[in-house]
């Protein structure tokens, strides 16, 4: 396994998890994720964990006058993984100090502090929730289950940005070292799935993309178990809609990954089903792909599936506990299959359940 996958801490009596619920629905869905993780530890004694809560985002501003307080950073530094909720407030309040640059200060602060260079976002369409997907059913019949791996700290977002008179410039730069990190994880991820890796670029135009192809081609020699192909980003965007079942693992640079992962996130029909992970050199962070949804905060209707599945990703990637991670994922599958659905995924005219009832159903499914 690659270094990024060798984060198992099985020798420790209990893993330390920094819990950062954040704002909006964050505390509600986090409560359910912790409920499931505590049940997991009962079933899998090696998964013993201790949880310490910290403030971030608007909650951090309220408690310490800043979005990413030093005390929260210190909590993360002494932890083995970060379980993150969501940050941000109502759109009409974005000008207020509590919310101005809240997401930027919180998330970019975490990425910078812990070298979170690789983002992992699964996108799975549950067969029983095909009605939620914006795609026609015939496009989903072969099963949609992909993972998009995005480089997070390089590319045009982090290049030189200048404007002079009527001219503006944004520079895209990549090094071989930056490219190898997400690709190494992608090759390893593909080995644990269907064995197919698609590297997305724009190599017919961009030198940075040609460098990505060169590095990927060289690395592929060390991973003969994986079938690798290349795809231009414009074609990849089309194929995500036309043939989403054709993808297994996608790896790409920062901006392309930003766009494609957002496009893929709508395929399951709800962001409430979409977990993600950001992987650093020493510490990994896990967060739902959706936002803080302040409009439904406190109503007990938010879908906690993504936050619960973040716990499964944490067990797999930070602690090397594959069986426990798979048990959580199977329990979420079972809850959904049995018709325990929150309002965002319930068919029209059917009864939906609350946030806590969904969490209870996942815990109940784990008893088997």
CA distance 307 to 272: 8
- Within the chain, strands assigned E span 15-22, 49-53, 81-86, 118-124, 145-151, 161-164, 167-170, 196-201, 227-232, 249-252, 275-279, 284-288
- Within 15-130, strands assigned E span 15-22, 49-53, 81-86, 118-124
Q: Provide the annotated active-site residues.
A: 157, 202, 234, 258, 262
Residue 239 makes CB contacts below 8 A (sequence gap 6+) with 231, 246, 247
Q: How many CB atoms lie within 10 A of CB 14?
A: 13
Instruction: Compute φ and ψ for 139, nearest 5 degrees.
Output: -80, -10
CA distance 22 to 20: 6
CA distance 201 to 289: 23
Q: Output DSSP code: residue 48.
A: -
CA distance 198 to 318: 25
CA distance 290 to 133: 16
Helices 26-43 + 305-317 axis angle, to 10 = 50
């Amino acid at each position: 396994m690659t270094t990024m996958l060798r984060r198992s801490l099985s020798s420790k009596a209990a893993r330390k998890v920094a819990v950062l619920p954040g704002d909006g629905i964050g505390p509600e869905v986090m409560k359910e994720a912790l409920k499931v993780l505590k049940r997991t530890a009962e079933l899998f004694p090696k998964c013993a964990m201790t949880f310490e809560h910290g403030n971030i985002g608007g909650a951090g501003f309220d408690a310490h006058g800043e979005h990413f307080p030093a005390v929260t950073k210190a909590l993360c530094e002494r932890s083995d993984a970060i379980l993150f909720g969501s940050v941000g407030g109502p759109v009409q309040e974005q000008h207020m100090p509590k919310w101005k640059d809240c997401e930027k200060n919180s998330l970019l602060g975490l990425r910078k502090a812990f070298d979170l260079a690789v983002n992992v976002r699964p996108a799975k369409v549950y067969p029983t929730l095909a009605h939620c997907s914006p795609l026609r059913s015939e496009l989903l019949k072969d099963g949609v289950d992909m993972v998009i791996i995005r480089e997070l700290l390089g590319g045009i977002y982090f290049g030189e940005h200048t404007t002079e008179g009527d001219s503006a410039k944004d520079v895209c730069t990549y090094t071989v070292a930056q490219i190898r990190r997400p690709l190494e994880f992608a090759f390893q991820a593909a080995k644990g799935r269907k064995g197919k890796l698609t590297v997305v670029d724009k190599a017919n135009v961009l030198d940075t993309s040609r460098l990505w192809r060169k590095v990927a081609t060289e690395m592929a020699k060390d991973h003969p178990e994986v079938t690798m192909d290349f795809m231009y980003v414009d074609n990849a965007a089309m194929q995500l809609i036309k043939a989403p079942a054709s993808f297994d693992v996608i790896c790409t640079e920062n901006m392309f990954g930003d766009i494609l992962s957002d496009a893929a996130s709508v395929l399951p029909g709800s962001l409430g089903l979409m977990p993600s992970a950001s992987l650093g050199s020493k510490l990994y962070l896990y967060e739902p792909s959706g936002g803080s949804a302040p409009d439904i905060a406190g109503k007990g209707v938010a879908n906690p599936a993504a936050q619960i599945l973040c716990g499964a990703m944490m067990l797999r990637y930070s602690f090397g506990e594959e069986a426990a991670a798979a048990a959580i994922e199977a329990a979420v599958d079972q809850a959904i299959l049995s018709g325990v659905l929150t309002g965002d995924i319930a068919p029209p005219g059917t009864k939906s359940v609350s946030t806590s009832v969904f969490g209870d159903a996942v815990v109940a499914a784990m008893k088997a």
